[in-house]
Chains A and B, each alone.
Chain A
């Protein structure tokens, strides 16, 4: 079979299609990996001390546990008014990793967590561990990273909910 123009066309089309498939399957498509926080109160309040983590990073039981203990939030007082607490809790619950609207990735996070566990840190979930097992301990200690909670140190577009592989830039120091 000679390499006709038609065959070449089919080959090219297949290449483009497989590239596209790989791209989207690794979260490199136009959709963010996780829908970013869309609730105004949640975005403002949560992001005053750290990135507004997408609701799809933790199951509802984790968010409820967190929202019920804001006066001691990882050692700091992050308490809110009862109205703000209720509104943000509702948003987090409705968009949690185990909610009806959760995307595939969030469902994988949720299914990795034991049903009797309600972790407060996404970084302590099996899914996070699985995706970061190649990162050496010394890298986490670099000054520009400092903490596993600091997504944006390496995931340059984390604040838009995008964690695509090609957007990762690990600081050298």
Chain B
């Protein structure tokens, strides 16, 4: 029994080891982009785009103007805050970060985001205190 417990604990270890910190995720983007600017990320976060159907959208449409606040999807579901200071799970899973950049950049900008934009965006949100 003890051995079984020990084994199951060991099996769980890799999942903990894989969890990244927001700083690690930023470092990875920063390395690819050759730098990151929180100020540029802030501008990007608050920017508004007029879509083909005339709708004016931006990150804040769903995430609100306050990265520490709870947002809401178009289907009225709660979105946990973007800033790691208000949500410790934010930017801890690189695959999840990439998944949402891919989806949301396409939704708002109708294109993928550049590595530079991603680096700046993460840098801005980490800088929110």
| Residues in chain A within 8 A of chain B (CB atoms) | 47-51, 71, 74-79, 146-147, 149-150, 153
Task: Report the Cα distance A78→B106, complex, angstroms.
Answer: 10
Answer whether residue B6 sits at the interface, using C-beta atoms and an 8 A cutoff.
no
Q: Complex Cα distance A75/B76, Å?
A: 15
Q: Is the CB of A50 within 8 A of B73?
A: yes
Residue contact A79 to B102, C-beta cutoff 8 Å: yes
Interface centre among A47, A74, A77, A147 (most CB of B within 10 A): A77
Q: Point out the residue from A47, A50, A51, A76 that lies within 8 Å of B103, measured CB to CB.
A: A76
Assess the B106–A77 pair: CB atoms within 8 A: yes
Residues of B close to A48: CB separation below 8 A: 77
Within 8 A of A (CB), among B75-114: 75-77, 102-104, 106-107
- Confirm or deny: B74 has a beta carbon within 8 angstroms of a beta carbon on chain A: yes
The 8 Å CB contact of A79, one of B75, B77, B103, is B103
- Tell me the number of A-to-B contacts counted with CB atoms below 8 Å: 36
If A77-B102, A79-B102 touch, whether A149 touches B107 (CB-CB below 8 Å) is no
How distant is the Cα of A78 from the Cα of B74 in the complex, in angstroms?
13
A76 to B76, CA, bound (A): 14
Chain B 2-37 interface residues, beta-carbon cutoff 8 Å to A: none
Q: A147 and B75: CB pair below 8 A?
A: yes
**B30-50, CB under 8 A of A: which get 1 and which 0?**
000000000000000000000
Chain B residues with Cβ below 8 Å from A146 are: 76
Report the separation of the CA atoms of residues A1 and B73 in the bound assembly, to the nearest whole angstrom. Answer: 66
Q: Complex: how many Å from CA A74 to CA B76?
A: 14
Given contacts A49-B77, A75-B74, A76-B107, 19 further A-B pairs with CB under 8 A are A48-B77, A49-B75, A50-B73, A50-B76, A51-B75, A51-B77, A71-B106, A74-B74, A75-B107, A77-B102, A77-B103, A77-B104, A77-B107, A147-B74, A147-B76, A149-B76, A150-B75, A150-B76, A153-B76
